[in-house]
């Protein structure tokens, strides 16, 4: 979405302050001469970093002013946090003391940026000299003032010579061209700036492109085999990689791959007592074969896992793994570091609980234990261990149940060594907690999309995610289902609805995911629950991945369209369009550079719909060359529609395809 002048001028989402300026000479009792206020972008006054993508320009806006009528100048300073030297980009005045500057960080990492302002004394002299000259006044004294000013500002010898030559020419010919020439102004750039003022430095996190966009396929590795009851292996996962890549997915996300505990192992459907042969929950991490830095022996070896990483890389996919900070009672840490865990008054281990629920197969580390520094370091080293084996994406299980300062520290520590690392926060909790996790460093976040089904609530939720300041730090990943969540609306198993929810997730958000089995329309719930019956969290499943009635071709088509249209690979530039039907939502998305625009119309009920789609004069195109939408082209059929009265009449039949996607032309 193109940012309007009103939004830019107002610094939407910024926090105004009268104390944002650091004077270079803080001992000056008169205080700063300049006011640098309402800086945009920033999050919580600069406490947390703004997020951007490497190679993407960062627009910086601020109100900059001082007393009087002197000419002022300003610049944006920026650098990588690890660098000592600042880079500088000039700022341009727009209106009402609002200034803009742009810089482009080239690679992922942590950055800082700030604003500096100063009085351009020579530009002020030149302005006043020209005004008096144009008014026919005697300017002899102004020329002497100019010489004195140059000496006062300690300009270089070249500037003095240029000024003297221009003054001589003026005296001889009456031409002031040399005094007003830009060459002289350029030579003055080396002048001292005695009233230079700078704002506080603000943080910026720069990520790689995969942080902004990706289609995720969540896989349970032990269920990828072909023989019923037989544990799947990494080789079975490798065998499925070409198929998943062909469907257009970018990330193969694996549920926990570690050894599973024996003590209090859960049985089928979360039964408290396991039967012989039950594999247990893969979230009960650790047994005699190792903990978080080991793989389940029945899956294979670490070398096999690295072959899976390589197979994905060969198919232009990445592997993401689950980081679940919890242990089975058999985890090696309980013997090696009992001080990391809490016990009950009778000396027994304290199992994980969420009253009235109990998780007897899991114990949680005590982040407040006396030896917490060693615990924190050990958990950081687990991440580094997997990074060294080719993993750069981590889905973190339930981060909201662990201390926020721990995550802020861990993510910063890892990214200091590996700035291309991505962390996805799996937290379905209170909105402010979810947003806090995004602020402290999580690259992406789960969302409430799963439970937003009506037109008004979908549009209200996306409007929240794309407003300021959320759009500057919260990157939502829209999973349609997870191993823990089978939404009520999908429990009917209606194919059109599975397609509609996938289309909504894939087009509304630039990051989305499905859980394996979604393509087969798996929908049988535990009675009265939003959970799968016979969940593979507690058993091994074997599937026919080409089962009749699957929607694999549909998912492939959606992913193909996404990849071909950069407008769908970002979330912030989204505008909802008026649709004259309460069960149809429509929206327009535009790429960052304005070169690509896509309109989507998606049915929310299973009945044919005829409606008028209003574009309302929406403008598309590169900044400075925007024009109204004039025509749209169906990205599936190639059919083209010309807009009439800023709209077009359309028909959608969900039983055929619940989504219409159009390329827009100005």
What is the distance between the alpha carbons of residues 297 and 260, in angstroms, rounded to a whole number?
10
Q: Which residues pair with 217 in a beta bridge?
A: 252, 514
Rounded to whole angstroms, how far apart are CA atoms 538 and 271?
9
* φ and ψ of 90, to 5 deg: -65, 150
| Helix (H) / strand (E) containing 552 | helix 552-564
Can 353 be counted among the known catalytic residues? Answer: no
> Measured between alpha carbons, how far is 567 from 237 in angstroms, rounded to an integer?
32
Whole-number Å distance between alpha carbons of 280 and 267? 6
Q: Which helix (H) or strand (E) holds 204?
A: strand 202-207
Task: Decide if 40 contacts 46 (C-beta within 8 A).
Answer: no
H helix intervals, 18-57: none
Residue 97 φ/ψ, nearest 5 degrees:
65, 20
CA distances to 216, 467, 485, 513 from 481, rounded to whole Å, are 12, 25, 6, 8
Question: Comparing C-alpha atoms, which of 547, 613, 526 is closest to residue 269?
Answer: 526
* 411: nearest Cα among 435, 446, 367, 376: 376
Quote the tokens at residue 444: 């992406």
Length of the chain: 666
Catalytic site residue from 330, 426, 470, 581: 426
Q: Is 59 a catalytic residue?
A: no
C-alpha span between 361 and 262 (Å, rounded): 8
DSSP secondary structure string for all residues of 523-534: -PBPTTSSSBTT
Neighbours of 597 (CB within 10 A): 25
Q: What is the DSSP string of 228-282?
A: TTPPP-HHHHHHHHHHHHHTT-SEEEEPP-S-B--TT---GGG-SSPPTT----T
> Residue 475: how many CB atoms within 10 A of its CB?
27
Which is it for strands 34-40 and 58-66: parallel, antiparallel or unpaired?
antiparallel
Collapsing DSSP to helix, strand or coil, 137 comes out as coil
Q: Which neighbouring-strand residues pair with 219?
A: 254
Q: Which of 211, 384, 244, 256 is nearest to 311 (CA)?
A: 244
Identify the active-site residue in 37, 397, 581, 657: 397
**Cα gap 541→631, rounded to integer Å:** 48
For the chain, the maximum distance between any two Cα atoms, rounded to a whole number of angstroms, is 106
The token pair at 54 is: 């490497």
| Strands 584-590 and 197-199, sheet pairing | unpaired
Buried b (16+ CB within 10 A) or exposed e, 86-121: beeeebeeeeebbbbbebebeebbbbbbbbbbbbbb
Active site members: 397, 426
């Amino acid at each position: 979405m193109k940012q309007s002048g009103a939004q830019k001028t107002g610094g939407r989402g910024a926090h105004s302050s009268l104390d944002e300026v650091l004077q270079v000479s803080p001992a000056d009792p008169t205080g700063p001469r300049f006011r640098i206020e309402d800086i945009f972008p920033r999050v919580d006054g600069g406490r947390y970093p703004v997020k951007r993508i490497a190679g993407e320009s960062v627009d910086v806006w601020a109100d900059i002013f001082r007393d009087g009528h002197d000419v002022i100048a300003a610049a944006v300073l920026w650098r990588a946090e690890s660098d000592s030297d600042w880079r500088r980009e000039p700022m341009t005045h727009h209106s009402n003391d609002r200034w803009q500057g742009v810089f482009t960080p080239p690679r992922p990492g942590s950055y800082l940026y700030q604003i500096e302002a100063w009085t351009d004394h020579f530009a002020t002299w030149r302005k006043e000299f020209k005004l008096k000259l144009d008014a026919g006044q005697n300017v002899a004294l102004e020329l002497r003032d100019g010489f004195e000013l140059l000496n006062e500002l300690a300009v270089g010898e070249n500037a003095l010579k240029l000024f003297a030559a221009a003054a001589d020419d003026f005296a001889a010919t009456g031409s002031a061209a040399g005094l007003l020439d830009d060459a002289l102004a350029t030579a003055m750039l080396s002048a001292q700036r005695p009233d230079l003022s700078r704002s506080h430095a603000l943080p910026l996190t720069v990520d790689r492109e995969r942080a902004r966009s990706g289609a995720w396929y969540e896989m349970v590795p032990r269920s990828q085999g072909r023989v019923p009851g037989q544990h799947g292996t990494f080789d079975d996962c490798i065998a499925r990689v070409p198929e998943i890549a062909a469907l257009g997915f970018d990330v193969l996300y694996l549920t926990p791959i570690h050894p599973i505990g024996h003590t209090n192992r859960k049985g089928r459907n979360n039964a408290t007592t396991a039967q012989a042969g039950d594999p247990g929950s893969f979230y009960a991490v650790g047994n005699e074969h190792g903990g978080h830095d080991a793989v389940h022996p029945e899956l294979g070896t670490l070398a096999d896992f690295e072959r899976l990483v390589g197979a994905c890389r060969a198919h232009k996919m990445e592997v993401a793994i689950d980081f679940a900070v919890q242990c089975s009672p058999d985890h090696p840490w309980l013997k090696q570091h009992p001080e990391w865990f809490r016990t009950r008054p009778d000396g027994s281990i304290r199992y994980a609980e969420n009253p009235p629920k109990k998780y007897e197969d899991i114990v949680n580390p005590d982040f407040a234990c006396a030896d917490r520094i060693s615990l924190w370091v050990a958990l950081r080293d687990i991440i580094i261990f997997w990074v060294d084996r080719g993993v750069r994406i981590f889905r973190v299980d339930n981060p909201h149940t662990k201390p926020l300062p721990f995550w802020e520290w861990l993510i910063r520590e890892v990214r200091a060594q590996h700035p291309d690392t991505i962390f996805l926060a799996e937290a379905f909790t209170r909105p402010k907690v979810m947003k806090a996790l995004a602020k402290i460093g999580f690259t992406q976040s789960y969302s409430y999309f799963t439970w937003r089904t009506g037109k008004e609530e979908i549009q209200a939720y996306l409007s929240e995610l794309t407003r300021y300041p959320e759009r500057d730090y919260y990157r939502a990943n829209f999973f349609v289902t997870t191993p823990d969540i089978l939404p009520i609306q999908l429990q009917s198993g209606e194919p059109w609805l599975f397609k509609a929810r996938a289309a909504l997730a894939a087009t509304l958000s630039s990051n989305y995911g499905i859980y394996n089995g979604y393509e087969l329309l798996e929908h049988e719930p535990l009675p009265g629950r939003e959970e799968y019956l016979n969940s593979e969290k507690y058993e091994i499943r074997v599937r026919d991945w080409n089962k009749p009635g699957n929607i694999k071709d549909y998912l492939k088509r959606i992913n193909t369209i996404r990849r071909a249209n950069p407008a769908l690979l970002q979330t912030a530039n989204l505008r909802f369009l008026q649709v004259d039907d309460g069960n149809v939502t429509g929206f327009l998305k535009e790429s960052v550079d304005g070169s690509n625009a896509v309109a989507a119309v998606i049915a929310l009920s299973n009945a044919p719909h005829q409606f008028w789609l209003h574009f309302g004069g929406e403008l598309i195109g590169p900044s400075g060359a925007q024009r109204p939408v004039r025509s749209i082209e169906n990205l599936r059929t190639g059919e083209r529609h010309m807009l009439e009265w800023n709209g077009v009449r359309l028909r959608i039949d969900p039983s055929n395809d619940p989504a219409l996607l159009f390329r827009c032309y100005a």
